[in-house]
Amino acid sequence: MKIVAEIQEPRLQETVLVAESEGGTRIALARTPGYSTRAAFVGLRFGSNHVHFRNPEGQEVQVPWGSAHFLEHKLFEGREEKVFDRFGRLGANFNGGTSFARTSYYFVTSQHFEEATEVLLDFVQDPLITEERVEKEKGIIEQEVRMYEDDPNYRGYFLLHRALYHKHAIRISPGGPVDEVHRTTAADLQACFDAYYRPHNLALSLAGDFDPEQILAQVEPLLKGPNPGKAEAIFEEEPPTPAHACLEERFAVSRPHVWLGWRDPAGPGEGLAQLRHRVLSSLVLDLVFEHSSPWYEELYQQGIVDDSFGCSFSCDEDWSHAAVEMVSDDPDRFLEGIRATVARFADAGPDPAAVERIRRAAWGGAVSSSQAPSQLASAHLASLLGDTRPFAVLDVIDSIELDEVAQRAREMFLPERSAAALLLPQDRPAS
Amino acid sequence: MALLETLPEHIPLAPGVDLLFLPEPRLKRALLQLDFDLPLDAGCAARSLLAQLLEQGTAAHPTRMHLAQRQEELYGATARVGGLRAAEKHRMRLQAGWVGERFLPEGEGVAVQVLELARELLEQPRRGADGAAFDAEVFQRERAQLARHIRSFVDDRAGYAQQRFYEAMCAGEPFARAPWGTAEEVEALDPDTVEQARLEILKHGRVLIVAVGPIDRDPLLAALRDWLGEGGAWGTKRPELPPSVVGQPAALREVREEMPVDQARFHLGFRCPVPQGSEEMEALLLANSVLGGGIQGRLFRVVREERSLAYGIGSEVLAGKGLLTVSAGIDARKAGEVRDEVLHQVADLAAHGPNAEELEMAKASFRNGLQAIGDSAGGIARFYAREYQFGLHRSPAQRAAVLEALGPDQIQAAAQRWVADTAFLMAAPQAELAEQVG
């Protein structure tokens, strides 16, 4: 185990140690004096998009949609004993999550931190995946998938993804369709685990009131030794423009749910470039659609948007899009109003005073989200997996120039890069 | 790590207005929460609309945009108004948060300005022309929006099913009322009625204020005394609220509602007495934890892990109302199996109590939760507000001591007081279910 860096962030009064194990696992440690809880997050860059890959041994592997999420469920089964029981005895809160490109597992506890860390690193590195265990889980996952499919917000979100992208894997939800869940086998999950769950792909982030050296000494023997080799994801080539101008679906909703998205032709890549792209794009969205924006206020006064309105920006290495959504009785008016507003905003450019105000608010947000050990551990895991320095976001926020914002606004809202998605009540005439 | 042994300073500001103050310079963000409690009654609709209207602007910040800009200028401070159901009370909550001074440029502390903004929200709404209580256009817009929002609540499957379950189980009791009112009630409101609701909150609401985090005591106290103290702007009589109605079911009722859903929503409600005192309260909470209060609970372990009947299942105690509810998302065709398993687990707990491992796991979970309280302003505020509302006034350490002393007999006794009332299922029509695969 070697210490790679000690990163001081005096503005937040935080320090992070970054270390690396013999097997290549990167570790972040944040000491939080005076706090009772301690948190550990472990994760890797393997998510629901990775259903087709060449494993480190050079073989091409294709697994059902939802495999990364299924594997996450199965890891919680443990080898000898269920992870639920082991954490339960320790009183720790724990969970896991699978997104398009990452999987993570964590616990937060105020007691038995060392034992809980041992449980975490054991079940994530040493599973037992059998056909019987996989079969038993299918009913549970089916219910989880059905729960999400019943949610108009979730459903509409993926309808928009299918409008924006032709072939990209983010068109499919992380849980996968129910029929794909049912055709998943133990061999599929084992193939995913063997290809991706290798020490050098894992990142571990720990935060709490502990002695970092002592924790590193404890963690070192719990991490597996080197197992080199890199799996390579195989993705279909994605055209740079939206797949559909608009997709509609009939669903059991009382009123139309409307989404409008704008995609970039390609993703922003990795590391700091991605972080900067994310921050800049979010700033542009705030300037148009935050409650503090005169553009948004005008839409609100005109009744084009209401409190069901929301906006978001989402990207990873190979995709990038902004989206707005609302429940609207007049989807056409909503879409026209938003399109006209973003066009006017892109022409007018950002108001310098508004940029400064949002920067101030972002600082307050950064302070507020770096308080509890679990917040810090989660943020540092994201940095490790995103190949950025912890707290780099603060420097990015400070360094963004007005011209850059104006340029991004012009690129971001190009009409030819937009697509809409409508979830319409069953009894409503087609729009 | 020692449990939080501190008790907040309890400062009565006026009859019916209390402040719990816990300065905590270690935290980065401060929290000020003012809860105004009123009966859960027909006034809910007016108060819900009021909450929306208050966020549309004040005399000094005439639109929502201006309010939002002010909050951004104050380094992302927040000041929000909302309503919620707390047992059989309608709780109007004004919540403000801001970053502690040590993280702001020298001399740029924002506490005083945030407090002023919070007070301004409640006291100085943007008025209409000719002295109207609210701007006519804003009033109509927000009223229509709230009514639309209530009508589309049906699209929130889990929230809607829970509300329908409460309505079925607690029909005729105040608890059955949705705290946001009905669309029809909202549409019938006029500006004067909503203004009366605003004055009622300020004059007659029972007020609990909790202030936690990096906050200076004296300026806060002076501002609150001036506002809600005995000689302050609203030093008025605040009546006690009636106790909750505690139902006594004769037999288990089965209610089924049809909705075009993929996954059925299952609820099973039990009645129990409102706990009296510290031990009864903790025994009830521990018994719930053993049943289904988390991943160590029987419902998760048996219904999900052993029988694969649900993805999420759990139970919850609403102690102030005397309710224990189980909820799950399930395959409708297996509703009978889920219901029978839950009833079996409850009966078993009442007949035999928890085993040693179950009890220890439930205690470990509570121990962990209690020790974690001090790590966030929200956690601290929730804990002490709850202690105050139940008249217990304990520190986390004192509460932990009560929990640790409880044995299986007391848990069993608590479970014996649960009486099954209503099994509720919201599911697709039977014909559609027959077509589902899997």
Residues A174 and A211 in one domain: yes
Residues A136 and A273 in one domain: no
So what's the ipTM on this one?
0.94
**All residues at 6 or more sequence positions from A64 whose CB lies less than 8 Å from its CB, including other chains:** A51, A176, A180, A181, A183, A184, A188
Looking at residue B130, the DSSP 8-state letter turns out to be: G
Dihedral over alpha carbons A274, A102, A153, B261 (to 10 degrees):
170
Cross-chain residue pair A143–B329, CB shorter than 8 Å: yes
The Cβ of residue A262 has, within 10 Å, a number of other Cβ atoms equal to 24
User: Which one of A13, A90, A290 has the shortest CB-CB distance to B68?
Assistant: A290
Co-location of A293 and A380 in the same domain: yes
Mean pLDDT of A355-363: 96
Does residue A280 belong to any structural domain of this protein? yes
For residue A85, give the nearest of A127, A116, A109 by alpha carbon: A116
How far away is chain A from the Cα of B314, in angstroms, using its nearest Cα?
15
Chain B positions touching A92 (Cβ under 8 A) are 368
Q: Residue B438: its pLDDT value, please? A: 38
Q: Which residue in the set A36, A140, A363 is minimally distant from B304, CB to CB?
A: A140
CATH number of the B253-435 domain? 3.30.830.10
**Is A227 within the bounds of a domain?**
yes
With beta carbons under 8 A apart, name residues in chain B contacting A94. 295
Q: Residue A190's domain spans which residues?
A: 2-152+166-233
- Domain tally for chain A? 2
Name the B residues in 165-224 with CB < 8 Å from any A CB: none
Suggest the residue from B5, B24, B28, B304 to mutate for an interface test with chain A (most A CBs closer than 10 A).
B28
Q: CB burial class (10 A; 0-12, 13-18, 19+) of residue A228?
A: exposed
Torsion sign over Cα B222, B223, B226, B230: negative
pLDDT digits (tens, 9 = 90+) for A148-168: 999 999 999 999 999 999 999
Best B54, B66, B75 member to test A by mutation, with max A CBs in 10 Å, is B75
- State which of A175, A204, A233 marks the end of a domain: A233
**CATH code, A384:** 3.30.830.10
Select from B68, B308, B309 the Cβ nearest to the Cβ of A291: B68
A408 and A263 inside one domain: yes
Q: Do domains B9-228 and B253-435 have the same CATH topology?
A: yes
Which residues in chain A have Cβ-Cβ distances shorter than 8 Å to B80? none
Starting from the edge strand earliest in sequence, which strands make up the sheet with A52-54, in order? A60-62, A52-54, A232-233
Are residues A172 and A303 both part of a single domain? no
Measured CA to CA, the distance from residue B298 to residue B341 in angstroms comes to 10
Min Cα–Cα distance to chain B from A362, Å: 7
pLDDT by residue for chain B (438 residues), tens digit each? 467 899 999 999 999 999 999 999 999 999 999 999 999 999 999 999 999 999 999 999 999 999 999 999 999 999 999 999 999 999 999 999 999 999 999 988 899 999 999 999 999 999 998 889 999 999 999 999 999 999 999 999 999 999 999 999 999 999 999 999 999 999 999 999 999 999 999 999 999 999 999 999 999 999 999 999 998 888 778 999 999 998 889 899 999 999 988 899 999 999 999 999 999 999 999 999 999 988 889 999 999 989 989 889 999 999 999 999 999 999 999 999 999 999 999 999 999 999 999 999 999 999 999 999 999 999 999 999 999 999 999 999 999 999 999 999 999 999 999 999 999 999 998 756 555 543
Whether A131 maps to a domain, the answer reads yes
Which of B73, B361, B363 is nearest residue A357 as measured by Cβ atoms? B73
Cα(A181)–Cα(A102) distance, integer angstroms: 19
Amino acid at B2: A
CB contact under 8 A, A363 and B1: no
Using CA atoms, how far apart are residues B272 and B417, in angstroms rounded to an integer?
6
Same domain for A342 and A194:
no
Number of A:B CB contacts under 8 A? Answer: 188
How many CB atoms neighbour CB B261 within 10 A? 21
Distance between CA atoms of residues A272 and B355, nearest Å: 53
User: Tokens standing for A374?
Assistant: 């679990």
State the Cα–Cα distance between residues B334 and B314, nearest whole angstrom: 17
Question: How open is the CA angle A333-A338-A339, to the nearest 5 degrees?
Answer: 100
Choose one of A197, A212, A233: the last residue of a domain.
A233
Domain ranges for chain B, please list them: 9-228, 253-435
Claim to verify: residue A406 and residue A270 sit in the same structural domain = yes
Inform me whether the pLDDT recorded for A296 exceeds 80.
yes
Strands (E), B321-418: 323-330
- For chain A, say whether B251 makes contact (Cβ under 8 Å): no
B106 touches chain A (CB under 8 A): no
From A188, A208, A233, give the residue that closes a domain.
A233
Please answer yes or no on whether B76 and A108 come within 8 Å at the CB atom: no
CA–CA gap between residue B140 and residue B122 (Å, rounded): 20
- Residue A161 in any domain: the answer is no
Backbone angles phi, psi at B399, to 5 degrees: -65, -40
Q: Work out the minimum CA distance from B11 to partner chain A, whole angstroms.
A: 27
d(CA A340, CA A335): 9
| Angle (CA) B277 B281 B287, round 5° | 150
Residue A132: CB atoms within 10 Å: 8
Angle at B360 between CA B359 and CA B362, to 5 degrees: 65
Residues linked to residue A202 through DSSP beta bridges, in sequence order: A44
Q: Does B309 touch chain A (CB under 8 A)?
A: yes
What strand order describes the sheet that includes B78-86? B9-14, B17-23, B206-213, B29-39, B89-99, B78-86
Please tell me whether residues A35 and A59 are part of one structural domain: yes
Same domain, A107 and A214: yes
Contact state of A88 with B28 under an 8 Å Cβ cutoff: no
> Would the CB atoms of B262 and A136 count as touching at under 8 Å?
no
Residue A206 resides in a domain = yes
A36, A142, A254: residue with CB nearest B1: A36
Distance from CA of A17 to the nearest CA of B (A): 21
- CB contact (8 A) between residue B308 and residue A136: yes
Q: Could you give the CA distance from residue B277 to residue B283 in angstroms, rounded to a whole number?
A: 10
Say if residue A283 is in the same domain as residue A387. Answer: yes
The minimal CB distance from B438 to the residues A90, A182, A290 is found for: A182
Residues A250, A228 within the same domain: no
Which chain B residues contact residue A293 at CB under 8 A?
65
CATH, domain range B9-228: 3.30.830.10
Contact status, residue A321 vs residue B97, Cβ threshold 8 Å: no
Q: Is residue A176 part of a domain?
A: yes
Among the listed residues B242, B226, B246, the one whose alpha carbon sits nearest the alpha carbon of residue B234: B226
A242 to chain B, minimum CA–CA distance in Å? 28
Residue A93 falls inside a structural domain: yes
